[in-house]
Structure 1
Amino acid sequence: MPLTDLASIGWTGGITGRRTPALYDADVPIQLSDRNPSVPADRLLGELVPPPRFADVSFDSYRPASDQPSQAQAVDRLREFADTLDQAGARRGWFKRDKAPTGPAGIYLDGGYGVGKTHLLASLWHTAPGPKLFATFVELTHLVGALGFHDAVAALSDFRLVCVDEFELDDPGDTVLVSTLLTRLREAGVRLAATSNTLPGKLGEGRFATEDFMREIQGLSDSFASVRIDGEDYRHRGLPEAPASQSLEEVKTRAQRPGASFDHFVDLSRHLADVHPSKYGAMLDGVRVVCLEDVRTVSDQAVALRLVVLADRLYDRDVPVVASGVSFDELFAPPLLEGGYRKKYHRAVSRLVALAREGAGLDEA
């Protein structure tokens, strides 16, 4: 789908919205806007593990806030849940185990962005015996699309634990798809764990009003024991807001680093419309820092949601970002931050601000 409204992201120059050829420096080998990788289904499945940022986390490395008792309580609940997974044992297909596991079929971590939900979910995954899978909600829907529903159920039914991070419902179709998938996995004895910014019974409120949609959510929520995690965004505790954007010359200088990418924001925004979101991670293969020219405020929701997915993949891979233009706390227009997808946008801003800080510190490092 082409980016049809360049004005919506603040673009005012040029007929096509492309940057001038002079900025395509020969010394910059990577351009994300030129990448459209082929990602086979077996790679999609094989890569469903905690992302590099959370590759070494544990319950012990989580630091509960002293003024937020729910955080320490969440660690205790997850440790208890992990202890029950040894009872689950590996199973094949639809055959029953001799010994049924105790405890809930799933555990659901509910809390705002930046309270450490992904850290705790990844810690659970690292603690649990295999076979096990860790995926974002979006990655799980992409996997089903790649394998087909029945093959996905067959492949995932052999897992002891399936972790789903950022369980957010973008449309009723995805809701029914994932709800049905997790129901089948639960029937096969797979234990489930998930994170979200909203209680399971409240997902979808303010976005959709259909009775069938809410019924689907409620049915899924019955499978989980909900654990609330309160607190402020740890990424910004005691820290300033988004760092100031860089000048174009500073961005171009950083783009000379090995493994750096360099794209105009409009080029990249348009390109994302032509790349399936399941490939956004593969687009970043070999990229150590992302450099962007002329970041603009986005008001088009389709553009914004694609940028959310890209922000998640950047954050997962701990890729610093250096950018000129508006700062990332101004990336999404106010109406978007007040709409039904506001939690997604706030999470993306939180993560991009953290990556921008890392990008600003590259010279010091």
Structure 2
Amino acid sequence: MSGANGVDHLTDRHPKVTPERLVEALVPPPTFADVSFDSYRPDPAEPTQTAAVSSCRAFCDEAVQRRAGKKKLFGKREVLPGVGLYLDGGFGVGKTHLLASTYYTLAGANAGPAAFATFGELTQLAGVFGFVECIDLLADYVVVCIDEFELDDPGNTTLISRLLSALVERGVSIAATSNTLPEQLGEGRFAAQDFLREINTLAAIFTTVRIEGPDYRHRDLPPAPVPPSDDEVRAEAADRAGATLDDFDALCAHLATMHPSRYQALIDGVTEVFITGVHRLDDQSVALRLVALTDRLYDAGIPVVASGAKLDTVFGEEMLAGGFRKKYLRATSRLLALTAAGGH
């Protein structure tokens, strides 16, 4: 739906998401549609990145063997438990690239279907289908890849841990990523210890692979630029086919009207997102919804152009000091990359 100026608004969209779409969406995001282990470019100064590729390839080989099972008498096969891989590292070291490459390698191995989801998407899948039904849905998969495993919601962490335990028993292998905060790099696998403690029923199956290095999104990026004016944003949006234009507060209010699982459908077909009146957020719920939208925009590679406050100031110091710090730092990193993609 277009506004008076002929530009579409995200606030006019009210998407619906079917269970079938949730299953169809169990693939890597568009920005990782063509990746492979061969296309991963390790930083020569970070040997852990090269080692991580080898670990991922070995995991794929083991996952295929586990899915095939072990021959028993009379030609029958006994299902072997799946294996686990946990990629532990900071922001922008290529963990998602390696996870998506793992997905594509196993999806093409004829060992069974493969699934790729964020932690939030997997939680939503279990909520829509039910716990037992979700296990049945994924039981024949060779691997479930989970990007950005979250440990800040004990209830969801317990739910997913139980789900994964049941899948591993049925021969499904699990690959996961999460983030270590930049200042915790070198502190002895802090994030890995958190992860293994929270999924204690699964910890024994996981091989932890540490990936060091700076955020590649920032290697050639200057600091957050001075934002354009509201009028400049409106004028530019009017010139871009497929663009949307929204007021920041109105967009944040609209996000509250739907579950984050709908955010991907919200931006279907959008080529560029323009936002006016950005300011620092003080409400945690609003901020977390913006994080979820940012993740979907980043996955889809949709550039962002915004006026108002600089995008690296949206999440205040108080929020960055809290329990969702990792999410806010990741979202800031991605917003800056999307702003650069938008030419600002």
TM-score (norm 1): 0.84
Q: Which residue of 2 aligns with 1:124?
A: 102
1:130-145 correspondence to structure 2 within 5 Å: 130-145=112-127
1:206-285 correspondence to structure 2 within 5 Å: 216-256=198-238, 257-285=240-268
Encode CA deviations 1:252-274: one digit per residue, 9 max, x unaligned: 12212111011000001111111
Q: Which residue of 1 aligns with 2:193?
A: 201
1:334 to 317, 321, 331: 317
How far 1:300 sits from its partner (Å)? Answer: 1.3
Contact 1:90 1:131 (C-alpha < 8 Å) held by counterparts: no
Q: Which residue of 2 aligns with 1:98?
A: 77
Task: Give secondary structure in 1 for the equivalent of 2:149.
Answer: coil
Aligned-partner Cα distance in 2 for 1:268–1:184:
39
CA RMSD of aligned residues (A): 1.9
Identical aligned pairs, as a percentage?
52
**2:278 corresponds to 1:295:** yes
Aligned-partner Cα distance in 1 for 2:80–2:218:
40
2:305 to 322, 325, 329: 322
How far 1:100 sits from its partner (Å)? Answer: 5.5
C-alpha change, 1:201 and 1:221, in structure 2 (3 Å) is farther
**2:332 corresponds to 1:354:** no
**2:12 corresponds to 1:27:** no
How far 1:75 sits from its partner (Å)? Answer: 0.6
Q: Which residue of 2 aligns with 1:189?
A: 171
Letter in 1 for 2:203: S
Letter in 2 for 1:39: V
Contact 2:148 2:176 (C-alpha < 8 Å) held by counterparts: yes
C-alpha change, 1:281 and 1:176, in structure 2 (3 Å) is same
**2:285 corresponds to 1:307:** no
Letter in 2 for 1:272: L
How far 1:344 sits from its partner (Å)? Answer: 0.6
Encode CA deviations 1:246-299: one digit per residue, 9 max, x unaligned: 211221122121110110000011111111010010000111100001111112
Task: Give secondary structure in 1 for the equivalent of 2:245.
Answer: strand
**2:78 corresponds to 1:86:** no
2:153 to 168, 171, 193: 171
Contact 2:27 2:115 (C-alpha < 8 Å) held by counterparts: yes
Letter in 2 for 1:52: P
Aligned-partner Cα distance in 2 for 1:46–1:239:
34
Q: Which residue of 2 aligns with 1:107?
A: 85
Contact 1:113 1:233 (C-alpha < 8 Å) held by counterparts: yes
Contact 1:90 1:160 (C-alpha < 8 Å) held by counterparts: no
**2:128 corresponds to 1:146:** yes
Contact 1:254 1:260 (C-alpha < 8 Å) held by counterparts: no
Aligned-partner Cα distance in 1 for 2:198–2:341:
41
Unmatched segments (≥5 aa) in structure 2: 70-75, 181-190
Encode CA deviations 1:42-62: one digit per residue, 9 max, x unaligned: 101111100000000111111
